[in-house]
Amino acid sequence: MISGKTETYVDNKRKDDVRQANIMAAKAVADAVRTSLGPRGMDKMLSTSSGEVIITNDGATILLKMEVLQPAAKMLVELSKSQDIVAGDGTTTVVVIAGALLKQCIALLGKGVHPTIISDAFHRASLKAVEVLTSMAIPVELSDREALVKNASTSLNSKVVSQYSSLLAPLAVDAVLNVVDPARPDSVDLRDIKVIKKLGGTVDDTEMIKGLVFDKKASHTAGGPTRVENAKIGLIQFQISPPKTDIEQNVIVSDYTQMDRILKEERNHILGMIKKIKATGCNVLLIQKSILRDAVTELSLHYLAKAKILVVKDVERDEIEFISKTLNCLPIANIEHFRAEKLGQAELVEEVSVGDGRIVKISGIKNMGRTTTILVRGSNQLVLDEAERSLHDALCVVRCLVNKRFLIAGGGAPEIEASRQLGAWAKTLQGMESYCVRAFAEALEVIPYTLAENAGLNPITIVTELRNHHANGEVNTGINVRKGQITNILEENVVQPLLVSTSAVSLATECVRMILKIDDIVTVR
């Protein structure tokens, strides 16, 4: 079989088999999540080995919990993870696109096209597709709250909690806008938004709290206060308990008077510490969890209660940064450094009962840092977890818009438009590249096809009609899943950030190119 330069190519059997196996495995993973794409997508129930049950619609969560053994299929799991990090939403989309591209690869490889040629053509096509998507985008301002809310609610529509999107979407937008730093207007750290889950009530009771919430009770020993006004809050990282030696050792006391002295010394030690704390005017103490020994003893809690100081103990190590940022105070590591200027100030610290537990709520914080707390409620653990995941997606969507302030239509419109323009571009190319680009263009149609299929419409009719509309220059026409027909999607308020679509296309292409380049799997003992 000798012809032109390297147009045809006969590979040996083994390499074909490995490639085939890789592509098949990765495609199987993609098909598993395909049904959960879009607002009418189904949910997956995941049952873990420990007997825990998760119900979710989020592509990244599904793939993360799936036990994938085939190495190439693991790449798809990584793919949805990276989409989750970059954009936060579109984790199902990215896997579905990758699956469709792999399907086209099988056809092209079957015709004898060399994998490297396919790979390079796909790379060019993906760059072109990103260009097309960017040219469709509509700029948006952060002051335009309505547009941001539309985005967040589009992201929530495909989730289990979609009926609450009118409540959760504005909540997510406000939370992100609260933590945007004017000094660095285009970056948002989602760690500044703390989500606390509390069982009981319904998702309707979810609220955003200006202030700080601890998912614990105040300590009730010896009738300490549970409500303090004009609070001065100290965040301490040392222990209020009798000192211990660093090594395990025993002190043998033979004399009763000596025993009394030890107890007395202990008491004086603790009292001395509490006097120092009280002298600064501090009346709320947040105590970090300690591993070495008890951070507080019964005795010290008793004296703290007498001094009318509200105590929240066992504050986690990783929350310290968030707390000190919110309260605008400094963590204090040693009693000698306990000074008034290191304390945070707030109007009210009180313990409120929520659902079946109690939480400590700090409100009216003076010069509060740019952080926000969201209290999520739900009637059962599954709904609660899913609400938190969906909220995370919505927050990520708003964050995408802060990073890259462009909107794009949803409902399969951008994919069809990119597919149409790539098809037209393929006709201007020569040789094998033209075939590969055309295959890429066809693969992009999987998104509208799947959307229609999941909504129970006839996919072939819908996609053909969509192509027709787009050929007439109606760029923003997409599938309106609720009405089951084709409409202008922008008028239906189905919008998504540009970053979600562009990163989905480029990440999926990158992953497919890697799978194509693999021609052998070597197991290393």
User: Which of the residues 56, 61, 84, 91 is marked catalytic?
Assistant: 91
Angle between helices 459-471 and 446-454 (to 10 degrees): 130
Kindly state the helix (H) or strand (E) to which residue 460 belongs, with its residue range.
helix 459-471
Contact 188, 176 (CB under 8 A): yes
Please return the burial class of 62, using the count of CB atoms within 10 Å of its CB with bins 0-12, 13-18 and 19+: buried
11 part of the active site = no
CA atoms within 13 A on the CB side of 370: 16
- In sequence order, what DSSP letters do the residues of 280-348 get, joined into one string? TT--EEEEE--SSS-SB-HHHHHHHHHTT-EEEEEE-GGGHHHHHHHHT--EE-SGGG--GGG-EEEEE
User: Which of the residues 56, 58, 371, 509 is marked catalytic?
Assistant: 58
Q: Any idea which residue has 């006004």 for tokens?
A: 229
Kindly state the helix (H) or strand (E) to which residue 364 belongs, with its residue range.
strand 357-365
Contact 400, 499 (CB under 8 A): yes
**Token duo for residue 367:** 């010069």
Phi, psi angle pair for 146, to nearest 5°: -60, -45
What region, left, alpha or beta, does residue 222 occupy, with left being phi > 0 and alpha being psi -120 to 50 degrees?
left
Task: Report how far residue 147's alpha carbon sits from residue 141's, in angstroms, rounded to the nearest whole number.
Answer: 9
523 part of the active site = no
Phi, psi angle pair for 189, to nearest 5°: -100, 115
94 closest CA partner among 520, 513, 506:
506
DSSP β-ladder status, 138-139 and 406-409 = antiparallel
| CA angle, 40 then 44 then 46, to 5° | 165
477 part of the active site = no
Q: Any idea which residue has 């993609």 for tokens?
A: 30
DSSP β-ladder status, 310-315 and 284-288 = parallel
Task: Report how far residue 155's alpha carbon sits from residue 36's, in angstroms, rounded to the nearest whole number.
Answer: 13
Kindly state the helix (H) or strand (E) to which residue 230 belongs, with its residue range.
strand 227-236
User: Which of the residues 61, 84, 89, 92 is marked catalytic?
Assistant: 92
**Each residue of 327-338: b (16+ CB within 10 Å) or e?**
bbbebbeeeeeb
Task: Report how far residue 150's alpha carbon sits from residue 492's, in angstroms, rounded to the nearest whole number.
Answer: 10
If one counts every other C-beta atom within 10 angstroms of the C-beta of residue 160, the result is 20
The β-bridge partners of 199 are 378
User: Which of the residues 61, 84, 393, 502 is marked catalytic?
Assistant: 393
297 part of the active site = no
310 closest CA partner among 231, 395, 192, 204:
231
* Catalytic positions: 58, 91-92, 393
